[in-house]
Chains A and B, each alone.
Chain A
Amino acid sequence: MMSMAIISSAFAAEGEQTTHETVGAGEAHHEGAFPPFQTENFAPQIFWLVVIFGLLYVLMSRIALPRVGGIIENRGAKIASDLGAAREMQSKAQAAAAANDENLRRRREEAQAIGREAQNKIAGETAKQRTIAESQAAEKIRAADERIASAKAKALANVEQIAEEAAAAIVEKLTGAKVDKSAISEIDATSSPAKEALNAF
């Protein structure tokens, strides 16, 4: 501030000097003239204004304004292209999502179909196995029944024979007479509570 004051007071001193000079040179201006209307100040101001403003105009129109305009345009273009890219990406992502959904749906259907098929196959297999097992079991049961029946028949036949022999032996012991075995068989055939009892057994 101090140095500025000194400089400006130096300006003032110089200014007074020049005013005195111009007055001395016979100009029509006295010292106290209103500075903006002092005509001897016009030429230097216009000269430097033209020079400085002209240079500034050239710098602005050639360098600054095209550059700033370019920056703004570039930014607009960049934003537009970025937005376009983003939009494209988004539509791609949506398409991918849709394709994925479709794929998923198809796979699920396939999986369900495979599951159903497997289930059916297993059910069929099980049914077949069961019928085979059942038929085998039935076969075995039948064979066993036959064996039981034959064994029973055999056993019954043996019982008859034993009974006949026992009867013959009893009769012989009691009577001392020989008994014909066939006669016993006939008695046996006509009525035989023992046989009935055996059969019921």
Chain B
Amino acid sequence: MNPEEAAAKPNPIEQFELHRLWPFEISGIETSFTNASLFMLLAALGVVALMILATSKKAIVPGRVQAMAEMLYEFVAGMVRQTAGTEGMKFFPFVFTLFSFILIANLIGLVPYTYSVTSQIVVTFAFAAVVISLVVVYGLYRHGFGFLNLFVPHGVPLPVLVVLVPIEIISFLSRPVSLSVRLFANILAGHITLAVFGGFVMMLLGAGVWAALAPVPLLAIVALYALELLVACLQAFVFAVLTCVYLNDAIHPGH
């Protein structure tokens, strides 16, 4: 997020542009290392620093950062256990990686001049696709055709089923879309709003007498920034919880 830059050339979309830092391709597919890749790497390194470097002492009485790592661990473990049951704990490493990566990426994206990895639909859709593929593959592997019970709510009379089953199927198919768009749209909209308000500040400062009004959008940015911090954490949490809910469907397909 970089309101100053956006104001210099008032274009709130510019912050989402991809810049090839190290252009190259593998067998005809472009695999350039971009600014997005750089911040993916930084987010991953942030998670590694928190979960591996900070826990290297394995202290019985934890320091601050180790306590944070443990809290994150127990938070996600509790979430998985509550939502997907004990059997869901086999997906705990996946959910944990997903949650911590999205959380750290969202938070890094709030620092000015950085890049928000999760503001790209292709990234969030890739996550959603992995989650839904995991649900379908595990559901079929675990229950075979019994997995299809997911679409047939238990104890519903046949005439109602005729209507209900297509609805269930549509709702299932819309899951990857809603899952990916929710995260993408929240982060994108937040960053655009911040940039737009930053642009207001610059425009007012350059408009003679109207410069007196410049602090108003600035204060709005402060408030929005606090909201965006909440959104960054909340959307990571929502993504992880929904992943657990969907995995629970794969584990226990009968409603």
Contact = CB atoms under 8 A, between A and B. Distances in A.
Given A64-B55, A69-B73, A71-B62, A40 B48 contact: no
Contact of B123 (A40, A49, A55, A59): A49
Interface stretch (A31-39, A129-137, A162-170): A31-39
A11 B60 contact: no
Interface stretch (B12-20, B200-208, B232-240): B12-20
B19 A15 contact: yes
A56 B48 contact: yes
A12 to B, nearest CB: 7
B40 interface: yes
**Number of chain A interface residues as a range:** 35 or more
A60 B93 contact: yes
B97 A36 contact: no
B122 interface: yes
Interface in B12-39: 13-14, 16-20, 23, 26, 29-37
B69 interface: yes
Interface in B52-75: 52, 55, 58-60, 62, 66, 69-70, 73-74
Nearest to B14: A12
Contact of A70 (B13, B40, B47, B58): B58
A156 interface: no
A35 B60 contact: no
A74 B62 CA distance: 12
A60 B45 CA distance: 12
A61 B184 CA distance: 26
B16 to A, nearest CB: 4
Interface string B120-143: 111100100000000000000000
B92 A65 contact: yes
B19 A14 contact: yes
Nearest to B29: A43
Contacts of A19: 17
A44 B100 CA distance: 22
Interface SS of A by simple majority: helix
Nearest to B62: A71
A46 B126 contact: yes
Contact of B18 (A41, A56, A59, A78): A41
Interface SS of B by simple majority: helix
A52 B122 contact: no
A75 interface: yes
Given A36-B188, A48-B40, A70-B58, A57 B19 contact: no
Contact of A49 (B23, B40, B74): B40
B69 A35 contact: no
B69 A68 contact: yes
Contacts of A9: 5
Complex A-B, nearest 9 residue pairs according to Cβ-Cβ distance, in ascending order? A61-B93, A64-B51, A48-B37, A35-B16, A11-B19, A47-B31, A15-B19, A56-B44, A68-B73
Interface of A: 4-5, 7-9, 11-12, 14-15, 18-19, 34-38, 40-50, 52-53, 55-57, 59-61, 63-65, 67-72, 74-75, 78
26 contacts: A7-B113, A8-B2, A8-B5, A35-B13, A35-B16, A41-B122, A43-B29, A44-B18, A46-B122, A48-B41, A49-B40, A52-B41, A52-B44, A53-B97, A56-B101, A57-B97, A59-B52, A60-B47, A60-B100, A64-B51, A65-B73, A68-B51, A69-B73, A70-B58, A72-B74, A74-B60
